[in-house]
Amino acid sequence: MIRIGVTSPRITQNEGYGAVEHYRNLGVYHHMEKVMRKPIEVEPMRGFAIKHGNKLDILHIQNCSTEQTLGMIKKAKQMGVKILLDFDDDLWAIPVYNHNWLRLQHAGKYATEACKLADAVIVSTHALEQRVKQWCEPVRIPNSVYWQRQPVAKQPPNVNMLWRGSRSHAIDIIEYNNEMLYIMENSGKVPLVLWTDDTTATAAICLDYPDLYTDPKGKWIRQDPIDVLDYFEKMAKDTRPMLTLVPLYDDDFNKAKSNIAWLETTLAGGVAVVPKWTEWDNDGALKYSTKGEFKKQVMRVLKGEIDVPTYRDRSLTVIERKYNLDKNNLQRWAVIENLIK
């Protein structure tokens, strides 16, 4: 039995199982144990003590961004525990306008030292692979669909648009404010679902639409965040967006992000308008390089110029080939096996 301790930001903050945990640690290890039938035992950890060092084989650290987490790595190594780092954010490029900047402005320093101490490093995207190569040789394993936990929509998509994100995406909505307002003004009766807990982002859209806050039956529908597994189910069974909007500000931090908005939209039956960056440049996705192209791609869907089921099927084919956890977790298992030789 291989014993793996896992620490992740939401685990450390006692916030449970979120998207990062699903795609990068607890979820993929659950798949490894239950679907692949590998001999592992996983323990979520908020800290590291002597008792952990006495029983763990591997310590999985998600996004080493603090001095506290770096201290866990050093203590674990002293006790002979192998260190597996996983990065799904560019901690070296957190912008000053990110709401976490004040707390994480030195994250790159801790992440760099962690890379030098690690026994293995996994990253989620091409951009992160290039970043981390400065200090070690990472293995790139993209965020992948766990089919047993992520249902696929069986009904046609609803006639709606979706934007989803946390407060870290406020800069994206602000940057694309004019385009978002244009889309809302020219979308006819197609509503925009805003799946977020952040009023900063929604206010940027609703600045010229104050009535939208008081008219939930209007062109704006607010959806509060829910547990990630409930979110997957609601996306596939209820929301089923015809179109997901992914306006992203052009900076290194965003370019290192994964394409889960496209993955999740595809499973829910729709198409996504995404930046033409390496991670998003897949068949079936509607790509843009400029703000004008972003607006144009959205309007093509709203005008019926895009056959949504056809594009969705093309995306689904790519996902089954490139972003399939049944395949990609074999690569992760190989990393683990190599650590315990």
Domains identified in the chain and CATH numbers:
2-144+325-339 (3.40.50.2000), 158-322 (3.40.50.2000)
pLDDT, residue 213, reads: 46
- Rg (alpha carbons) of the chain, rounded to whole number: 21
pLDDT of residue 269: 97
Helix (H) or strand (E) holding 226, with range, is none
The interaxial angle of helices 177-185 and 291-302, nearest 10 deg, is: 20
CA–CA gap between residue 197 and residue 177 (Å, rounded): 18
> What is the DSSP-derived secondary structure letter of residue 324?
B
Please report the DSSP string for 217-235 in residue order. TSSEEEE----HHHHHHHI
Reference 23, options 282, 296, 229; nearest CA is 229
Stated pTM of the model: 0.93
- Residue 177's pLDDT is what? 85
How high is the pLDDT of residue 117? 97
- Of the candidates 254, 26, 31, the one whose C-alpha atom is nearest the C-alpha of residue 125 is 254
- Tell me what pLDDT residue 88 has: 97
DSSP tag of 186: T
* Residues of the chain with confidence (pLDDT) below 70: 197-220
CA distance 17 to 314: 30
Q: Classify burial at 13, counting beta carbons within 10 Å of its beta carbon; exposed 0-12, middle 13-18, buried 19 or more.
A: exposed
Structure-block tokens of residue 151: 């249902």
Distance CA(164)–CA(172), nearest Å, equals 11
d(CA 53, CA 218): 56
Residue tagged 């001095």 (tokens): 67
Neighbouring residues of 293: CB distance < 8 A, sequence distance ≥ 6: 287
Name the phi and psi angles at 275, rounded to 5: -70, 145
Backbone φ and ψ for 107, nearest 5 degrees, come out as: -60, -40
Enter the DSSP assignment of 236.
I
